[in-house]
């Protein structure tokens, strides 16, 4: 009885629901062996004589075409196309079978390869580049090339809508347990003063809300509990307004706390560091950012956050430029906090020039780009924690050579400083005769735990293993300890920013000194190790200086050195980097220094791949060296 009543109901519903809602989420296809995604969105339509396109293959009524807005003749196409092939990884010559040429009369001509292509008149203003033309409607659909996130660095593959909101990019290429990321043709975009980041492909740490999609904070329960964000925060919105294209959300460690591969990664698998043997810890918490910028030439820049080292760690071990900016340069609304008094947002890049442009966009008037202005470099170079014996190992030799080259470059001198000693000799009022390492020992864990438990944990009452130990530390301390911790931080900041790294009285120099400490020294931290449980991050170290003093701290990839990998049983190359600090607000000075050192040939822009000088990541190199057939017989 119940069953028949139920099926009657279903029938009735089916009968009354005549039409369903159909919404395209795009389409993926292969064209000449390349994986593409056809956006459901269109920048405009064209009118054309369909009979001229008969010979061009189509899928679901979509035909590959090219739009050329440049005022050229068909005869000039080959030159244009060869420059396109240089600058864009999405376009390929096969899109030239039909060319909509601005102002041209419909015509037939010969392509550079000698195959026939059709030239059609163009009256639309859609940007130049490859498209898939819907021959039924006349709408041109934008084309994305699809790439495998083989480093496992993304949590979500995203499509930016024309309104600047986000939806999932519904495409998957053949790969194993990784996402597929889509990047639009670079030909659609022309950077301008208004849109200096037009077409720049950027990935966003999955703690920054993006309107239309969910944020995970590196935690599955969080992702599933909350609805999609309806607002993109100030920082990322500025990038979008400047024309940047967000291609996805990237893996942070849980709640942006420090985690080591792989056991700490309870919810998501740690991304893969592409350098060396390919099995090194990518560091955290902007882990996806570092792994991706070290792996993918098709990705230009990643935005991460740094509270206690989360931009610098991944930059150091992946051999990238990464800036923890001065504190407070941009509002972090709609970004998960760790500790508002310490949190910063900044970029990981291979090219310091692009970092300068992106900094100008995101920090606005709080950032002074001095990449072209007159500037005096500080002549005093302070080193902290540097090796003293160049023959001890290759990394020591390289670090010391770098300080000499830098000193020569700025016509200055290097001197080693020991903050512990300087503090004891000249302690600030309020230090209570306490050594620096005791004074700041509990400051960092207190601030992050006390702030994040209130701002994040308490509203979200689920328990998850890794951050739990840090939150538990916060609970074990009385409320007054936060005030004490912030007070200690402030005493250190005022001491450091007057005694060690004050602003220069000369505004064209900005910072009185530069302070250097070793970032990474080509040591290994392989991910196939069973480690101890996460600990509370007590202590003071060079990496905490910028955290407490609010000064900019930028990672410079300077070289690499070989060491024996137990994983490959070969010598592999691992990055060596130096962190350089300047006075608070002198962020532009550091970025200019990076650019100038690259131009002077003292350091090089790192490339993607197995080494900072390029090369396929390990798994691909192996496949190439042995040949696919041999690989198959191995198993
Ligand atoms: C198609 O393009 C023409 C101009 O090329 C324009 O007048 C027309 O409105 C467009 N149609 C749609 C639906 O946008
Ligand atoms: C069209 O073809 C004619 C004759 O082949 C040629 O003179 C003319 O330049 C062509 N137009 C364009 C825009 O290529
Ligand atoms: C966004 O969501 C929040 C929380 O659900 C709500 O209070 C707010 O009004 C929404 N804003 C917009 C612009 O929809
Ligand atoms: C500059 O920094 C101040 C202090 O943090 C902040 O209030 C202001 O909004 C920032 N300006 C811009 C353009 O972001
Ligand atoms: C600073 O000096 C102290 C005491 O001599 C020493 O223990 C410590 O290792 C030094 N620190 C650095 C970073 O050189
Ligand atoms: C420097 O390192 C080399 C190689 O480890 C060692 O032989 C030498 O004694 C060291 N020199 C000093 C002054 O420590
Ligand atoms: C460091 O500099 C010395 C002296 O210029 C040079 O002999 C040595 O090869 C350099 N080391 C490296 C690793 O480049
Ligand atoms: C660097 O040191 C040399 C001598 O060691 C000295 O003559 C020179 O003035 C110093 N330069 C600076 C900028 O301090
Ligand atoms: C400070 O500490 C030093 C060594 O720990 C000690 O000798 C000195 O008496 C202390 N001064 C004060 C004022 O407590
Ligand atoms: C830092 O604090 C922890 C926990 O109280 C303690 O175990 C450790 O010895 C302290 N270290 C220093 C240098 O005070
Ligand atoms: C602050 O500094 C005092 C010494 O003046 C020290 O005893 C205390 O542990 C520090 N507390 C924090 C939370 O940094
Ligand atoms: C490689 O294995 C050996 C032997 O177990 C060990 O001593 C060494 O530390 C390992 N090297 C690295 C880089 O982990």
pLDDT in tens, 284-295: 999 999 999 999
Nearest-5° Cα angle at 477, 471 to 483: 100
- Please give the distance, rounded to the nearest whole angstrom, from the Cα atom of residue 229 to the centre of ligand 3: 8
By alpha-carbon position, which residue is closest to atom 1 of ligand 1? 45
Burial of 118 (0-12, 13-18, 19+ CB in 10 A): buried
79 lines ligand 6 (CB under 6 A): no
Q: According to the model, what pLDDT value does residue 629 have?
A: 45
Asked if residue 291 lies in contact with residue 153, where contact means CB atoms within 8 angstroms, the answer is: yes
Provide the CB-side half-sphere exposure for 488 (13 A, CA): 25
d(CA 441, CA 438): 5
Asked if residue 372 lies in contact with residue 360, where contact means CB atoms within 8 angstroms, the answer is: no
d(CA 457, CA 453): 4
Residue from 42, 111, 205, 595 carrying the catalytic annotation: 205
pTM: 0.93
Confidence of residue 463 (pLDDT cuts 50, 70, 90): very low
By alpha-carbon position, which residue is closest to atom 3 of ligand 11? 439
- To the query of whether residue 205 is one of the catalytic residues in this protein, the response is yes
- 145-161 burial, b at 16+ Cβ within 10 Å, e below that, comes to bbbbbbbbbbbbbbbbe
- Please give the distance, rounded to the nearest whole angstrom, from the Cα atom of residue 418 to the centre of ligand 5: 6
Provide the CB-side half-sphere exposure for 579 (13 A, CA): 28
Nearest-5° Cα angle at 537, 536 to 541: 160
In which residue are the tokens 């230009």 written?
Answer: 300
Asked if residue 343 lies in contact with residue 307, where contact means CB atoms within 8 angstroms, the answer is: yes
Asked if residue 607 lies in contact with residue 320, where contact means CB atoms within 8 angstroms, the answer is: no
**List of E strands, 444-494:** none
Q: According to the model, what pLDDT value does residue 626 have?
A: 53
- Least distant ligand from the CA of 119: 2
pLDDT over 50 (residue 479): yes
DSSP-assigned states of every residue in 327-359: TTSS--TTB--S-TTT-EEEEEES-HHHHHHHH
**Which of 328-332, 402-406, 461-465, 606-610 comes out lowest in average pLDDT?**
461-465
Confidence of residue 77 (pLDDT cuts 50, 70, 90): confident
Q: According to the model, what pLDDT value does residue 461 have?
A: 63
The predicted model gives 521-548 an average pLDDT of 94
Asked if residue 165 lies in contact with residue 236, where contact means CB atoms within 8 angstroms, the answer is: no
From the list 417, 423, 418, the residue with the least C-alpha distance to 435 is 423
Beta-bridged to residue 225, according to DSSP, are none
- Least distant ligand from the CA of 105: 2
The predicted model gives 493-510 an average pLDDT of 96
From the list 520, 614, 596, 613, the residue with the least C-alpha distance to 356 is 596
From the list 186, 48, 44, the residue with the least C-alpha distance to 106 is 48
Confidence of residue 633 (pLDDT cuts 50, 70, 90): very low
From the list 337, 419, 418, 410, the residue with the least C-alpha distance to 379 is 410
Residue from 157, 270, 310, 512 carrying the catalytic annotation: 310
Confidence of residue 457 (pLDDT cuts 50, 70, 90): confident
333-382 tens-digit pLDDT: 999 999 999 999 999 999 999 999 999 999 999 999 986 667 899 999 99
Confidence of residue 17 (pLDDT cuts 50, 70, 90): low
By alpha-carbon position, which residue is closest to atom 8 of ligand 11? 439
More confident residue, 22 or 470: 22
How far, in Å, are 181, 268, 314 from residue 153 at the CA level?
11, 10, 12
The predicted model gives 311-322 an average pLDDT of 98
Confidence of residue 165 (pLDDT cuts 50, 70, 90): very high
- Least distant ligand from the CA of 234: 4
- To the query of whether residue 4 is one of the catalytic residues in this protein, the response is no
- Please give the distance, rounded to the nearest whole angstrom, from the Cα atom of residue 430 to the centre of ligand 8: 35
Residue from 283, 285, 287, 511 carrying the catalytic annotation: 285
User: Kind of pairing, strands 301-306 and 201-205?
Assistant: parallel
- 403-439 burial, b at 16+ Cβ within 10 Å, e below that, comes to bebbbeebebebeebebeeebeeebbeebeeeebeeb
d(CA 207, CA 288): 12
Return the SS3 of 603.
coil
Q: According to the model, what pLDDT value does residue 260 have?
A: 93
- Least distant ligand from the CA of 415: 8
The predicted model gives 62-79 an average pLDDT of 91
- Please give the distance, rounded to the nearest whole angstrom, from the Cα atom of residue 566 to the centre of ligand 12: 6
- To the query of whether residue 192 is one of the catalytic residues in this protein, the response is no
328 lines ligand 4 (CB under 6 A): yes
Give the CATH class of 188-366. alpha beta
* Domain segments of the chain as ranges: 3-144, 188-366, 380-417
pLDDT over 80 (residue 188): yes
- Please give the distance, rounded to the nearest whole angstrom, from the Cα atom of residue 354 to the centre of ligand 12: 39
The predicted model gives 544-558 an average pLDDT of 98
- Please give the distance, rounded to the nearest whole angstrom, from the Cα atom of residue 539 to the centre of ligand 10: 7
Q: Looking at ligand 1, which atom is closest to the CA of residue 124?
A: 5
Contacts for 174 with CB less than 8 Å, ≥ 6 apart: none
Quote the mean pLDDT of the chain: 92
388 lines ligand 6 (CB under 6 A): no
End-to-end CA distance of the chain: give it in Å, rounded: 59
């Amino acid at each position: 009885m119940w069953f028949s009543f139920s099926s009657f109901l279903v029938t009735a519903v089916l009968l009354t629901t005549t039409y369903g809602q159909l919404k395209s989420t795009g389409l993926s296809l292969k064209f000449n062996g390349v994986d593409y995604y056809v956006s459901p969105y269109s920048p405009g339509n064209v009118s054309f004589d369909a009979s001229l396109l008969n010979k061009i293959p189509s899928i679901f009524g979509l035909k590959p075409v090219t739009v050329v807005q440049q005022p050229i003749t068909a005869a000039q196409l080959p030159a244009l196309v060869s420059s396109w092939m240089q600058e864009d990884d999405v376009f390929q010559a096969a899109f030239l079978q039909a060319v909509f040429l601005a102002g041209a009369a419909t015509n037939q001509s010969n392509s550079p390869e000698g195959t026939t292509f059709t030239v059609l008149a163009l009256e639309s203003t859609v940007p130049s580049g490859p498209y898939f033309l819907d021959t039924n409607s006349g709408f041109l659909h934008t084309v994305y090339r699809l790439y495998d996130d083989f480093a496992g660095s993304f949590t979500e593959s995203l499509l930016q809508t024309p309104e600047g909101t986000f939806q999932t990019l519904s495409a998957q290429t053949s790969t194993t347990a990784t996402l597929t990321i889509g990047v639009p043709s670079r030909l659609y975009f022309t950077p301008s003063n208004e849109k200096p980041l037009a077409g720049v492909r950027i990935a966003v740490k999955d703690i920054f809300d993006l309107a239309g999609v969910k944020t995970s904070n590196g935690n599955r329960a969080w992702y599933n509990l909350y609805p999609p964000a309806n607002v993109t925060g100030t920082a990322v919105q500025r990038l979008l307004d400047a024309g940047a294209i967000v291609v996805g959300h990237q893996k942070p460690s849980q709640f942006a706390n420090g985690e080591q591969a792989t056991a700490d990664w309870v919810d998501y698998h740690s991304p893969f560091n592409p350098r060396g043997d390919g099995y090194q810890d990518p560091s955290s918490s902007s882990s996806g950012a570092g792994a991706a910028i070290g792996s993918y030439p098709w990705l230009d820049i990643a935005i991460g956050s740094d509270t206690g080292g989360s931009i610098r760690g991944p930059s150091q071990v992946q051999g990238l430029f990464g800036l923890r900016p001065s504190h407070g340069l941009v509002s972090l609304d709609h970004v998960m906090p760790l500790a508002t008094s310490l949190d910063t947002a900044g970029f990981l890049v291979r090219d310091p020039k692009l970092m300068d442009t992106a900094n100008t966009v995101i920090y606005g008037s709080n950032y002074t780009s001095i990449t072209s202005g007159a500037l005096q470099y500080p002549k005093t170079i302070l080193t902290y924690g540097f090796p003293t014996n160049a023959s001890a190992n290759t990394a020591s030799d390289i670090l010391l050579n770098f300080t000499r080259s830098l000193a020569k470059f700025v016509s200055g001198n290097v001197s080693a400083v020991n903050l512990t000693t300087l503090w004891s000799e000249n302690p600030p009022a309020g230090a209570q005769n306490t050594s620096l390492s005791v004074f700041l020992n509990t400051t960092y864990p207190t601030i992050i735990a006390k702030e994040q438990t209130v701002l994040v944990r308490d509203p979200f009452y689920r328990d998850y293993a890794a951050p739990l130990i840090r939150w538990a530390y916060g609970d074990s301390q009385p409320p007054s300890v936060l005030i004490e911790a912030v007070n200690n931080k402030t005493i250190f900041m005022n001491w450091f920013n007057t005694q060690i790294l004050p602003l220069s009285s000369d505004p064209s120099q900005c910072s009185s000194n530069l302070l250097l400490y070793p970032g990474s020294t080509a040591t290994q931290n392989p991910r196939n190790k069973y480690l101890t449980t996460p600990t509370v991050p007590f202590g003071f170290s060079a990496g905490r200086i910028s955290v407490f003093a609010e000064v900019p701290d930028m990672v410079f990839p300077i070289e690499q050195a070989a060491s024996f990998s137990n994983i490959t049983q070969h010598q592999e190359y691992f990055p060596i980097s130096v962190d350089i600090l300047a006075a608070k607000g002198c962020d532009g000075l550091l970025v200019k220094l990076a650019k100038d050192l690259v131009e002077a040939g003292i350091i090089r822009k790192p490339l993607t791949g197995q080494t900072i000088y390029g090369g396929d990541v390990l798994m691909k190199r192996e496949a190439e060296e042995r040949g696919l057939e041999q690989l198959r017989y191995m198993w």
